[in-house]
Structure formats: structure tokens, C-alpha cells
Amino acid sequence: MSADTQSNGSSIKKLLLTVTVLLIIMSLFIPAEWYKSNMVSELKMGELITGKSGFHSQILPFANELYNDFFVQTGINSALTNYYAPLPVSVDPLEQTFNNISGIFYPFFINLAKMINYHNYMIVYRMALLSFWLPFFCIILVPSLIAGVCRWKRKQYDFSYVSPFLNRRSMKLIGLTVFLVAVSILIPLPVPPVINAVMTLFVIPTSIILMISNLPKQI
């Protein structure tokens, strides 16, 4: 692999990471009520794709338990709820002037606190939803590994072509998929739950088959 190709790959990774971080920071300034309405829509989509029974008996209780452990019991939830309060009215006109100035920013800070609280819940909800797909992923992963090894063994004994290109690209696709799954969990924007399902259940197993089947014939 040439130095130019490595440099281009590194630049793309840095660009993706920079854009992701900037998008996360910028998204924290959107109206909390808008985010809440999209959050409800995302929850309904999750209920639709997983079924009411599994959603209400497994995913939602697990998400609530995670939120309670990570944010309520640790005091993060209450700290965000009470982290900014308007200053009391002062009898000193000069001091009250500064209180009025600080009060201009009160709606922004309240919106930011709500937004972070909502987003904290969505992070643990998306983790809970991802855990719902893990058993199916394991069921698909084992046949994918076996299929990849069988195709690789077959290529060792016939004249089938082993593609280093597919091997490298499959490894990169697996890494990119893991990165995108992490982004879809952390990003404070609505994410259709079917995206993680497709990436987890189809993209990664297919990439594993291609990666293993295109290993060098002699290792």
C-alpha cells in the first residue's frame, strides 16, 4: 500500500471524527422540545421494529435500569436539573441590573440542561436496543465464521483467486461499521433503529465472510 493511500485513509478518518464531534457539539444547542418529540418518534420506531412485547418487557425496562444506575443514582440527573437557577431579586439596582443580564441566558441554560438529560436517556436506550440484537448477531456470526473458513479452505486447494483488496476493504468496513454504530448511539439526533439492526446483522457478518475467505492461502 502506497504512502499516498495511507495518507488519504488517515485524512478520511480524521475528517469523519472531526465532523462527528462538531455535529455532536452543535446538536446540543437545538431546542429541547424538538429533541423530545423526535425522541418519542424514535421510541415508537423501536417499538414497531422489535414488537410491543419485547419492547415493553425487555428493552424499555433495561433502558430505565441503565439510566437509573448511570445517571440517577450517581446524581448526574439532579445536578443537571438544578444546575442553573435564576438569581434572586436584589434591592441594589446595580446588582439587579447584572441579575437581569444573566437572566437573559436563563432559557438557553435550561434548554441545554434538558437536552443533555434527554440525550443521556437516549444513549442508554440505544444501548439497550442494541443488546436486543446481540443474540441474533451471535446466531448469525457463527455461520459467518464457518462459511468464511470453508471458502478460504476451498481456495487453498483449487485455483480460486484470493483478493487482498476484498480482504483489506472488509476489515475497513468492519471498523467503519463499529464506528458508525458508536456514533449512532452517541449522536444527539434522531436515529432510525433499523440502521443499527442492518449494520449489526448484515454488514458485519458479510464483511467477516469476505475477510476470512480472502486471507492468503498460506498463513
Overall number of domains in the chain = 1
Q: How confident is the model at residue 14 (pLDDT cuts 50, 70, 90)?
A: confident
pLDDT over 50 (residue 21): yes
What domain range is 133 assigned to?
3-213
Residue 36 lies in a domain: yes
pLDDT over 90 (residue 127): yes
pLDDT over 50 (residue 1): no
**DSSP secondary structure letters along 125-187:** HHHHHHHHHHHHHHHHHHHHHHHHHHHHHHHHHS-PPP-HHHHHHHHHHHHHHHHHHHHHHH-
**What is the average pLDDT across 68-85?**
82
- The terminus-to-terminus CA distance of the chain in angstroms comes to 19
Residue 218 lies in a domain: no
Q: What is the mean pLDDT of the chain?
A: 82
- Quote the pLDDT of residue 126: 93
The model's pTM: 0.77
Residue 219 lies in a domain: no
Residue 75 lies in a domain: yes
pLDDT digits (tens, 9 = 90+) for 194-206: 888 888 888 888 8
- Quote the pLDDT of residue 85: 64
